[in-house]
A and B are shown apart, each in its own frame.
Chain A
Amino acid sequence: MALSMKIQASSLIAGQRRVRPMTGRRAVVIKAALELKAPPYALDALEPHMSKQTLEFHWGKHHRAYVDNMNKQIAGTPLDGKSLEEVVLASWNGGSPTPVFNNAAQVWNHTFFWESMKPNGGGAPTGKLAEAIARDFGSFDKFKEEFKAAGLTQFGSGWAWLNADNSGKLSLSKTPNAVTPVVEGKTPILTVDVWEHAYYIDVQNRRPDYLTTFIEKLINWDVVAERYAAAQK
């Protein structure tokens, strides 16, 4: 069309940047949405300690919903395009969390949880981490007792955590709902989900049995040791 060619020619001649035609709506640039990361093992790989059915719901429905809902909430906002960690910290908003926080933090927490476990896990840590556990808890048995107690006494939904500071000192904490020690300035190295959806299919109300199984059969101590080393860098 003659008119559009004229406009093209004149904008080129003038050395101006091509301007997009005005439309009725502000064009929304879709940035890459944050993704649901798969656990580092098949959904049935933790059997018989954590069932495939649990993983199908816990990862396939709960974790997936947190990702989808978070992406819907941040699309077109300043958080769109930021990393997950940035979204978690920003939405924590200094302790007055925005609606994004519950979803974003739960995305982070669940990925951290899957990566804290492995098939044929459990057993005991070795090396520097084992020494730190003995030093900071008295013994590995004492650590297991206290970690289990933290998980048992988090009333309602939440998480229990093993954290390390940058001098290598270990501590336990527990948090409600979506809260994560990351927003409290701590560096977690291990977590267990104590929302009922984490264990109800497998052991129903028996949270103590769930925690014992997690500790004895599921913890990926190699990953925990890597995280421990990283916390001190």
Chain B
Amino acid sequence: MAFELPALPYDYGTLEPHVDSQTMLIHHTKHHQAYVNNLNAALDKFPELKDLGLIDINKVVGTDKVPGDVATTIRNNGGGHYNHTFFWKVMTNPSNTNGPSGAVKEAIEAAFGSVDEMKAKFNAAAAGRFGSGWAWLGVKEDGSLAITSTPNQDNPLMASLPDTTSMVPILGLDVWEHAYYLKYQNRRPEYIAAWWNVVNWEQVAVNFDAAKTGTVLL
């Protein structure tokens, strides 16, 4: 069974004015679709890899479970497919979004002091990622929350990569220029600030509860 482009959980215009509808359309139907297509093409010759499923495919990046000649393609496109599938779900209609509450809020305060201090660290990671990449809030193996950024389509599931902080992501932000250029051009910090208006804190809480048991949701 081939991987498929998941539907967006909302309309292309739902995240306006913070993320514009033209960006959402191109981001979903062109960029994410290309990762799905390329991943399927690469996995065609490696059914055992395909059978692992998307999460485990990401987890084995950088190990010898991935044959050398497809290693880079799997890393880039398996990463791209997971990252974008995850990303659409941690965003929602701006009127829905309040802020973290309950267990995840307590965990954020325990790790960073306050929600605002967490956001400041996250913003710095997102703005400071030179070139293309992602910023992440996640649960580390010891159960604590941490913030990291990854280059290109890498993600914290790829624990075997040398520079990766191993985490189960609970929130992530795409800082590839394609994620913001049509509306924000060079003004990445403005995009990052606006994006907090569309964070789906309910999904973040669901991700957090699963991550505490070591489970990665998709």
- Interface on A for B, CB 8 Å cutoff? 57, 61-62, 65, 102, 155-158, 176-178, 195-197, 200-201, 204-205
Contacts and interface: CB of A to CB of B under 8 A. Distances in A.
Contacts of B133: 156
Given A61-B185, A155-B76, A205-B26, A196 B152 contact: no
Contacts of A156: 131-133, 151-153, 176
A195 B76 contact: no
A200 B186 contact: no
A176 B130 CA distance: 11
Nearest to B23: A204
Contact of A205 (B31, B76, B131): B31
Given A196-B177, A197-B177, A204-B26, A178 B186 contact: no
Nearest to B77: A155
A3 B40 CA distance: 86
B182 interface: yes
Interface in B2-37: 26, 30-31, 34
Contacts of B176: 156, 196
Contacts of B30: 204-205
B178 A61 contact: no
B46 interface: no
Interface in B116-151: 130-133, 151
Contacts of A65: 186
A216 B94 CA distance: 44
Nearest to B25: A204
Nearest to A157: B131
Given A61-B186, A157-B131, A195 B177 contact: yes
A102 B130 CA distance: 8
B185 A196 contact: no
Given A156-B131, A178-B130, A205-B26, A57 B185 contact: yes
Given A196-B176, A196-B177, A197-B181, A57 B186 contact: yes
Contacts of A176: 131
Contact of A62 (B76, B152, B186): B186
A102 B176 CA distance: 17
Nearest to B179: A196
Contacts of B26: 204-205
A69 to B, nearest CB: 11
Contacts of B131: 156-158, 176-178, 195
Contacts of B182: 200-201, 204
A197 B181 CA distance: 7
Contacts of A205: 26, 30-31, 34, 178
A155 B152 contact: yes
A195 B175 CA distance: 13
B132 A157 contact: yes
Nearest to A177: B131
A190 B30 CA distance: 29
A158 B151 CA distance: 12
